[in-house]
Amino acid sequence: MFSSFPKELESAYQSDLADQKRQSAREGALLATLLYAGFAVLDIWAIPGALMPVLAVRFLVVVPMLLWMIWATFRPFFIHHYTTLMALMYVGMGLGIETMVLLASPGDLARIVYYAGLILVVSALYTWTFLGPRTTGAIGMALVAIYLLIEFFARESKSTRDQIVVLSNCFFFVSANTIGLLAVRIRERNLRALFMAKRALQEEISERKKMEDQVRLMAFHDLLTNLPNRRLLDDRLQQAMAASKRTGRFGAVMFLDLDNFKPLNDTYGHAVGDLLLREVSRRLKGCVRELDTVARFGGDEFVVILNDLSHQVDASITQAQAVAEKIRASLSEPYQLRIHPNGQGENQLEHHCTTSIGVALFAAHDASQDEILKRSDAAMYEAKQAGRNQVRLRASAYS
């Protein structure tokens, strides 16, 4: 009856509307139950000759069916069979009306009004469930107007009373079910269009958020290594200094410069140099804790911030030197780089590259961020001058 989405999209659509469908079904079934029970009062005048059998139809067949429908809305299978179950409920109501009319005697009022009145109720319940109260009122008024026209023309054509009743009843019976099915179709079509519009909006929002995250990443991270860049490094160092002031613990900044990077770049090109830088960043992150920071300062230079060292100067120096030696040893291990010379097959290149490391301790706000970085940079140049692949520490302010 309806054009289905692909399987995955159809599942998402049904899940999105699950609560709404359950609520509309409960309202429709509850309203139908109240109407069926309420109209029992009319049975006293409309079907006096078969009152007990008619009441039995109402309260032993129809009402339990409607209450079962309300119960079914709380079960998992309801969403997968929503339209079928709702249609069966209203068909059951129609059959209940049909049974009550058949039980009535030829002179009973039910033979004249029950078709028209109660089938109109079925039509109203259809549209209430699937289209809401405003559309229900409009369709109900249209049905009454058409019914009056049929009555008028039937009387003008001097049709018999039974012919008028049959004609009117047939009109209401057909129109109620036709309108109900149209209501289902219109509502389903509109809901699917709304679902697609909502999904498109969500995808657009997700794509925009993804782009914003990418811009934020580019603003604060190095695109090659995905490490914090100098802008984020400044922020992390500021946080580390604030934490040092709050806890009374020392911190340390390490400035690293690769000793044998330029020959690799000149010989094999920047693509191979990038492979080395990525591997260096990976090894650096493996040497420090989660609370520490590894940043790319630029070119073949990296900065490491160690947080939460000891309260004592000597212990902090020991801790910083231990981490620096761990980094120096890790970066001195051979690098196995996969290269593609002249665009041909893949070759394995073994490259040896050491690093010179300068370390500067800091505590609270004893110096500015620039002074701490300059101190570690100066210590790194001392390591270079000492023959490279060395660690040098500047802690004169605390000696």
**Would residue 300 count as lying in a domain?**
yes
What backbone torsions phi and psi does residue 76 show, to the nearest 5 degrees?
-60, -30
Task: Give the count of alpha carbons within 13 A of 390, CB side only.
Answer: 12
**Would residue 163 count as lying in a domain?**
yes
Q: Are residues 136 and 249 in the same domain?
A: no
**Would residue 369 count as lying in a domain?**
yes
Can you give the pLDDT at residue 253?
96
Q: Rounded CA gap, 76 and 124, in Å?
A: 27
CA dist list (Å): 311 to 292, 307, 368: 17, 12, 20
**Would residue 213 count as lying in a domain?**
no
Q: Are residues 199 and 234 in the same domain?
A: no
* Residue 356: exposure state from Cβ atoms within 10 A (0-12, 13-18, ≥19): buried
Q: Could you say which residues of the chain have pLDDT below 50?
A: 1, 399
Q: By residue range, what is the domain housing residue 148?
A: 7-203
Identify the helix (H) or strand (E) that includes residue 2.
none
Can you give the pLDDT at residue 1?
45
Q: Are residues 185 and 313 in the same domain?
A: no
Tell me the pLDDT tens digit for each residue of 357-396.
Answer: 999 999 876 788 899 999 999 999 999 999 999 999 986 5
Q: Are residues 147 and 242 in the same domain?
A: no
Q: Are residues 61 and 190 in the same domain?
A: yes
Can you give the pLDDT at residue 288?
95
CATH number for 257: 3.30.70.270
**CA nearest 58: which of 77, 32, 78, 79?**
32
What backbone torsions phi and psi does residue 339 show, to the nearest 5 degrees?
-120, 160
Tokens of 137: 């009122």
**Would residue 219 count as lying in a domain?**
no
Q: Are residues 174 and 33 in the same domain?
A: yes
Total structural domains within the chain: 2
Q: Rounded CA gap, 65 and 89, in Å?
A: 7
Can you give the pLDDT at residue 265?
85
Q: Rounded CA gap, 260 and 354, in Å?
A: 6
* Residue 64: exposure state from Cβ atoms within 10 A (0-12, 13-18, ≥19): exposed
**Domain termination residue (choose one: 158, 185, 203):** 203
Can you give the pLDDT at residue 379?
95
Can you give the pLDDT at residue 109?
67
**Would residue 220 count as lying in a domain?**
no
Q: Are residues 77 and 155 in the same domain?
A: yes
**Would residue 177 count as lying in a domain?**
yes
Q: Are residues 151 and 282 in the same domain?
A: no
**Domain termination residue (choose one: 154, 187, 203):** 203
Task: Give the count of alpha carbons within 13 A of 223, CB side only.
Answer: 5
**Would residue 168 count as lying in a domain?**
yes
Is pTM beyond 0.85? Reply is no
Tell me the pLDDT tens digit for each residue of 32-64.
Answer: 777 777 777 778 777 888 888 888 887 777 778
Diameter of the chain measured on Cα atoms: 122
Can you give the pLDDT at residue 283?
96
Q: Are residues 296 and 373 in the same domain?
A: yes
Q: Are residues 243 and 384 in the same domain?
A: yes
